[in-house]
Structure 1
Amino acid sequence: MIPPPPLAVPGDIDAIGAAWLSEALGHRVRSVRTTRIGTGQMGEAYRLELGGDGVPTSVVAKLGAADPAARSIVGGAYRGEVRFYDEVAPTVAIRVPACHHAAYDETTSQVVLLLEDLADHAQGDQLAGCTPAQAHDAAANLAGLHGPRWDDESLLELDDLKLNQQEDADLLAEFYGSAIDLYLSDAGAGLSPDDQATLRETVPLAGPWLLARADHFALVHGDYRLDNLMFRRDGEAGCVAVDWQTTSIAPPLRDLGFLLGTGLTPDVRRDHEEAVVATYHSALVGHGVTGFDLDECWLDYRISMLQGPLIAVFGCVYTGRTPRGDRMFATMVERSCAAMRDLGTLALVEGAVG
């Protein structure tokens, strides 16, 4: 018997009707009510309220950008997110939305994911920051991504994933300085003199930093921050990580440094970061990681803080500008610069690559 052809990836939300959903979910869907949610810059998201037999009451549908040219530019990110849910998520312990269907079309660069609707969770707020309890929750959850496949060389066999090489460091060094200049001449012009000086001090270190402290590696989220975390509304632990388009292989503490350096206000971070790093490390050990003590974890955390300005500056300069986006990136830069000064990050990077 000839198997049926694979289910087509819909070109837009109008193509996601009851018949298509019935095939995707494997159960009969009788009715669909669609509501646009979010303001994602790399695609579109919708809440689908479903009526049917044996189907969830609602799911979230993620699609690619409406513009074909824009889709083709970020097609690799779409492919990576589908790969994460299909191949990687079952092998790690981090909490993510349940995925009911995921597919990517190489010809059109269109993507579709049907994900669990986390109605009992609320999105983190990058501008407001998070509480210490939320930071502990997010750090322990992050260890569930890194720990199960810590230093796992089979990760290097996954398509499109590799450790950074010298050519990557050279490319970063080539473009980062001009990105800093563009940022400080426009969106970042209101930063304090101290923060502007700290940003400029990162320029010659960015390329070498990319290759530093690579003794250990893991699959990293790449954008593990509050806007990509869903926290339980009842205040209990159990946050869920979303938006898996930027996964890569790298020194794992960069995810944790990015979370705390950009998501905690400086006063809260100073009071709680050592305890949160200890929570993360304890969770790593619980996932079977050995040969990586708390002192080494703390050192990697301090060095990791350069991730914050890198992501924020490139994000602001090379993505669509919005008033909230400008405020968000400025807040991330300010918090990251304060963290780098507090933790002696730049001197540590110089020592690690010297």
Structure 2
Amino acid sequence: MGASVVADAADLTPEWLSEALGGTVTAVDRRRVGSGQIGACYRLELEGAEGVPRRLVAKLASEDVAVRSFLASAYRAEVSFYEELAATVAVRTPRCHYAALAEDGATFVLLLDDLFPAAQGDQLTGCTPERAADAVVNLAGLHGPRWCDPALLDLPWLSAVSEDDAAGLGGAFGPAVETFVERFTGRLAERDAGTLRDTAGAIAAWVLARADRFGLVHGDYRLDNLLFPPAPGRGVTAVDWQTLSIGHPARDLAYFLCTSLDPGDRAAHERALVEAYHAALAWYGVKGYDLDTCFEDYRFAALQGPLITVLGCAYGTRTERGDEMFLTMAARSCAAIRELGSLDLI
């Protein structure tokens, strides 16, 4: 690492960028982008020598200094993904030009390709089955190349869920569900509240189940974390790797399909979409994993939707759009759990 870690956007100077990029930067224009609940993102327009990128996105630690230490594991996961894992998988993600993490993990910096004119998906609006197909094939590029790879278990910053972790999750998720139900009284359907409570009772056993199939799990693979090229182009790109973990790969698949598609579209197209994902896994060399088993894993994994939705609501900064998003995701994922019989598989 030639350049240091920067904790403030004001430190993204031409001098610092020249050292980080290994080329002379003579001027930089910075503009804040995104909501920045976990970190801060800036679009950089650069002037300088030949070979210096003209546009980049810089990701930095949260501007709220008080929360940085609590987010250290998330920062470490994203920096380590780009440094150690991105080149070993086939999922499309922005090219990383520079990555650095402070020793205490509380500050970091990433310089990533700006993928303009690709546009962020919209969790509220949802997406078409065609865009969903693009996203699930890209997701297989994360899972397939490192499918059940024991070397993943040796990475000190990346670990599978233990029994103690599962018990702690179960203890935290139940109260979070009750808080969610209370917050949205009158807006959350009664049957969805019931499904959330049933999910809370099963979550500790669920998170440990089917451990014979494991791999890299993005953890928050949804439309707001995907960049789509202008229609009719294909080639979605995944961003935001702070929630990376080891787990059952179908958790990403179910979370994406069950929270991104209107329930009617999901029910009509989910078999074909799982088939597309499964075919891509086979192309990456995954063997001994038939389509029927994959589809059952998808059904089983649908609890990822309520898990991430409720916890995200509990610990995120409250906004009007966020409330609408969490309600929409909860309704879609609860409908999927009921229709797929997910709780019967635990």
- Could you say which TM-score interval applies, normalised by the shorter chain? over 0.9
Is the 1:68–1:108 Cα contact (8 Å) retained in structure 2? no
Distance 1:298 1:193 in 2: 28
- Residue of structure 2 equivalent to 1:52: 48
Question: Secondary structure of 2:98's match?
Answer: strand
Q: Alpha-carbon deviations, 1:46-85, whole Å to 9, x = none?
A: 0000111111111000000122221110011111111000
For structure 1, the residue ranges without an aligned partner over 5 or more in a row are 350-354
Residue equivalent to 1:220: 217
Measure how far apart 1:6 and its partner are.
4.0
Cα distance between partner residues in 1 of 2:230 and 2:185 = 34
8 Å contact kept, 1:126–1:263: yes
Question: In the alignment, does 2:14 pair up with 1:18?
Answer: yes
Q: Is structure 2 residue 335 aligned with structure 1 residue 338?
A: yes
CA contact (8 A) 1:183 1:189 kept: no
Letter of the 2:245 counterpart: S
Could you list the per-position Cα deviations for residues 107-155 of structure 1 after superposition, in whole angstroms to 9, with x for gaps in the alignment? 4711100000010211000000011111000000000000001010000
Deviation at 1:188, TM superposition (A): 5.5
Residue 129 of structure 1 aligns to which amino acid in structure 2? G
Aligned equivalent of 1:265? 262
1:190 to 187, 191, 209: 187
Deviation at 1:94, TM superposition (A): 0.5
- Structure 2 counterpart of 1:141, from 132, 138, 148: 138
Judging changes above 3 Å, is the alpha-carbon distance between structure 1 residues 288 and 323 closer, same or farther for their aligned structure 2 residues?
A: same
- Which deviations, in whole Å up to 9, do the C-alpha atoms of 1:288-337 show, x marking residues without a partner? 00011100100000011100001111111122111111110110000000
Q: Give 2:294's match in structure 1, choosing from 289, 293, 297.
A: 297
- 1:274 and 1:188 map into 2 onto residues whose CA distance is 34
User: CA 1:43/1:139 → structure 2, altered by over 3 Å: closer, same or farther?
Assistant: same
- Give, in angstroms, the shift of residue 235 of structure 1: 2.3
What is the TM-score of this pair, normalised by structure 1?
A: 0.95
SS of the residue aligned with 2:153?
helix
Moved more, 37-46 or 185-194: 185-194
The 1-side partners of 2:67 and 2:164 are apart by 26
1:106 shift after superposition = 1.9
- The residue number in structure 2 matching 1:208 is 205
TM-score, structure 2 as length reference? 0.98
Matched AA of 2:329: M
- Distance across 2 between alignment mates of 1:162 and 1:59: 31
Match among 66, 72, 75 for residue 75 of structure 1: 72
Residue 188 of structure 1 contacts residue 330 of structure 1 at CA under 8 Å; is this kept in 2? no
In 2, distance between residues paired with 1:200 and 1:108? 35
Which residue of structure 2 lines up, in the alignment, with residue 306 of structure 1?
303
User: Which residues of structure 2 form unaligned runs of 5+?
Assistant: none
Contact 2:40–2:61 (8 Å) recurs in 1: yes
Give aligned pairs, total.
345
Instruction: Please give the alpha-carbon distance, in whole angstroms, between the structure 2 residues aligned to 1:47 and 1:122.
Output: 14
Does the 8 Å contact 1:34/1:49 carry over to 2? yes
Matched, 1:165 2:162: yes
Distance 1:200 1:234 in 2: 40
- Aligned-residue identity in percent: 52
In structure 1, how many angstroms separate the alpha carbons of the residues matched to 2:338 and 2:319? 29
| Closer/same/farther in 2, CA of residues 108 and 138 from structure 1, 3 Å limit | closer
The residue matched to 1:49 in structure 2 has which SS?
strand
Of 223, 244, 248, the residue aligned with 1:247 is 244
State the match for 1:179 in structure 2. 176
